[in-house]
Amino acid sequence: MGRFFGFRCRDCGDQFEVLTGTGRSFPLVYGRTLRLAVEGKYGEEIRRFLEEHPDGALDCERVLLLCTECGELANGMDLSMYIPGENSAGEEKSGAVPPDLKTYRLIRSCEHKCQCGGKMKVIRGEELARLAETEDALNKMKDFRCSECGGQLQLTAGTVWD
């Protein structure tokens, strides 16, 4: 299941939409993402990790990426790197099905870089959902700035999309 969120600038009206979570098509998405990752689409660090750990897994949950420098928002995936734990089921090691990461061991978090060179923070759907329900959400969203004008962004929606 995934969630959809919208951001809207209070000053210039600029809008941004993000899909978070996994959704029904997740097994397909997972397989495709892993193939692309092996080819190096998600950077050298992840490519090398999968070469060293053919049974390795990636956290392919869709997340919001927020640049801590310029405030840029982007749709992305968490892409943290995992290897099977002692309780991981055998068939999950083939990489064909999305593995249950709860039984896996986190090796490294993926460092997301913004075009400006700044570090991007991963914000999960649950976090946005909690934020949307908070009364003083605007206060808690001081980091969320419009990339066009620097105005304060408002969280406008939180609907299930799949």
Give me the residues that bind Zn ion (CB under 5 A), please: 9, 11-12, 14, 67, 69-70, 72, 114, 116, 118, 146, 148-149, 151
Q: How far is the CB of 66 from Zn ion (least distance, A)?
A: 9
Our CB check for Zn ion shows the closer of 31 and 43 to be 43
Q: What is the signed CA dihedral for 31, 32, 38, 44, rounded to 10 degrees? A: -120
Q: How many CB atoms sit inside 10 A of residue 85's CB?
A: 13
Shortest distance, CB of residue 101 to Zn ion, whole angstroms?
Answer: 28
Quote the least distance from Cβ 93 to Zn ion, whole Å.
Answer: 37
How far does CA 4 lie from the centroid of its chain? Answer: 13
User: 64 or 67: whose CB is closer to Zn ion?
Assistant: 67
Give me the numbers of helices (H) and strands (E) for the chain, helices first please.
4, 10
Toward Zn ion, which CB reaches closer, 28 or 116? 116
Nearest to 18 by CA among 81, 65, 61: 65
Environment class of 103 (CB within 10 Å of its CB; exposed 0-12, middle 13-18, buried 19+): middle
- Do 157 and 4 meet the contact criterion of CB atoms below 8 Å apart? yes
DSSP state of 145: B
Q: How far is the CB of 114 from Zn ion (least distance, A)?
A: 3
**Residue 9 or residue 34: which is nearer to Zn ion going by CB?**
9
- Our CB check for Zn ion shows the closer of 37 and 120 to be 120
Q: Least distance in Å: CB of 11 to Zn ion?
A: 5
